[in-house]
Structure 1
Amino acid sequence: MQLLDHVSIGVPDIQLARLFYDAIMTALGACKVYDRPTALGYGERCNGSDTESTFLAVYLDPAEVGTSKRHWCFKAISREHVDAFFHAGLSAGGQSEGDPGLRPHYHRDYYAAFLIDPAGNRVEAVCHAAPSESKFS
């Protein structure tokens, strides 16, 4: 069961958010489904024939984010996608909150990276799978 249907993240500067979220969502393989002057959308909304999808909305909100424990974690299909998320986010104005790597205190194969977006929101990408076997080993 997928617990979340959709998540909304508020940001005070949609232009900075556009650069950052376009970069990290592309790195994770998520499609951009809309781009409006005050909102961005990624992923796919659920419908009657697709009840498994997840959707992210990033919207203009002039309120200050400030220091908080709010945290959004995105699934990555591979460790390489986690790495790409991290480097794309840094290149697009994000700050490191934790380099890509294993977090064995969660479980043996928990591979994640953490970023702070330009507004101060904390985001993570995680791959739960063990590393795939190399074709060349």
Structure 2
Amino acid sequence: MIDHTGVSVSNFDASKAFYDKALAPLGARMLMQVPLERTGGLGVAGYGRERPTFWLHEGRPTDRQHVAFSARSREEVDAFHRAALAAGGRDNGGPGLRRHYHPDYYGAFVLDLDGHNVEAVFHGHVPAKG
């Protein structure tokens, strides 16, 4: 249902460096940066796997947003969390099952440089060993 979304960030270059590192384990990267002459001199960049679906907009963040990125495995969720913390994010809920959402909901939460709640989530069932 959602084609794309984004957040405003106070320091475009620092946030771009954060998202470059945090989204890499999910197979996402910056795919497009809009030329400054088309944005009035403000940084605008789009991230995704195949096309831009998440956008950073340089500006004044007025409200904290929650953005959840889909992961293809629990390992990707774990790697996202480690990468986001290493890139300067703050822990807001380490990797684990969130059964109050759904029995197979495995997610991790990090606050980005502007306090946006950024999540990676995997909805797949992992069969029991044995």
With the length of structure 1 as denominator, give the TM-score of the two structures.
0.80
For 2:11, give the aligned amino acid: D
Report the counterpart of residue 111 of structure 1 in structure 2. Answer: 106
Deviating beyond 6 angstroms after TM superposition, the runs of 4 or more aligned structure 1 residues are none
Report the counterpart of residue 46 of structure 2 in structure 1. Answer: 41
For 1:79, give the aligned amino acid: R
Q: Which moved more, 1:116-125 or 1:34-43?
A: 34-43
Distance across 2 between alignment mates of 1:77 and 1:18: 23
Q: Which runs of 5+ in 2 are unaligned?
A: 37-42
Contact 2:20–2:29 under 8 Å retained in 1: no
1:100 to 95, 104, 113: 95
Distance across 1 between alignment mates of 2:126 and 2:118: 22
Distance across 2 between alignment mates of 1:99 and 1:16: 23
Q: How does 1:1-137 map to 2 (within 5 A)?
A: 3-35=1-33, 38-43=43-48, 44-45=50-51, 55-61=53-59, 63-65=60-62, 68=64, 70-131=65-126
Task: Quote how far apart the aligned CAs of 1:35 are.
Answer: 3.5
Task: Quote how far apart the aligned CAs of 1:107 are.
Answer: 1.1
The one-character-per-residue Cα deviations of 1:64-95 (angstroms, maximum 9, x if unpaired) are 446x4x21111000000000110000000100
Distance across 2 between alignment mates of 1:132 and 1:39: 41
Question: What is the DSSP-based 3-state SS (H/G/I as helix, E as strand, rest coil) of the residue aligned with 1:41?
Answer: strand
Alpha-carbon RMSD across the aligned residues, in angstroms, is 2.0
Distance across 1 between alignment mates of 2:18 and 2:87: 5
For 1:78, give the aligned amino acid: S
